[in-house]
Amino acid sequence: MLVALLVPLVIGAALFLFMLVRAAIRQRAAPLPEAVAVGGVTNFFDTLGIGSFAPTLAWLNFRKLVPDRIIPQTMPVGALRWLVAAVVLYTGLTMLYAGIEDEDRIEPRP
């Protein structure tokens, strides 16, 4: 069941990432290492319940990494790869913690 949820998510994210990379190559654009690090840190904050868009917006405005007119488009695109990685990681860890090895044999615990 969990694999049935993860496979479309990963396929969709891979397709989106492919289109993003293709557009970046066409425009000769590359992400700044600082922007990639901010995405990772703020999505970790999101896991803790702090949120990711508000700290990202604050950092983008503080460092003037992108023009204000493209911030609404930049934030979801920048968060996607980290969010997909987090979903796959946390789902896998949940399966390990719950002791689910074979999805066909899932039995409720007493």
pLDDT tens figures, 66-81:
898 988 888 888 777 7
Q: Is residue 40 part of a domain?
A: yes
Total count of domains within the chain: 1
Q: Is residue 23 part of a domain?
A: yes
Q: Is residue 41 part of a domain?
A: yes
Q: Is residue 106 part of a domain?
A: no
The domain in which residue 21 lies consists of 2-100
Answer whether 0.75 is exceeded by the pTM: no
Task: Determine the Cα angle at 83 with ends 5 and 93, to 5°.
Answer: 60
Separation of alpha carbons 19 and 13, rounded Å: 10
Q: Is residue 37 part of a domain?
A: yes
Q: Is residue 94 part of a domain?
A: yes
Separation of alpha carbons 16 and 69, rounded Å: 22
Alpha helix locations (H) across the chain? Answer: 2-27, 33-48, 53-63, 71-98
Instruction: Write out pLDDT tens, residues 47-106.
Output: 888 888 888 889 989 998 889 898 888 888 877 777 788 888 888 787 777 766 555 555
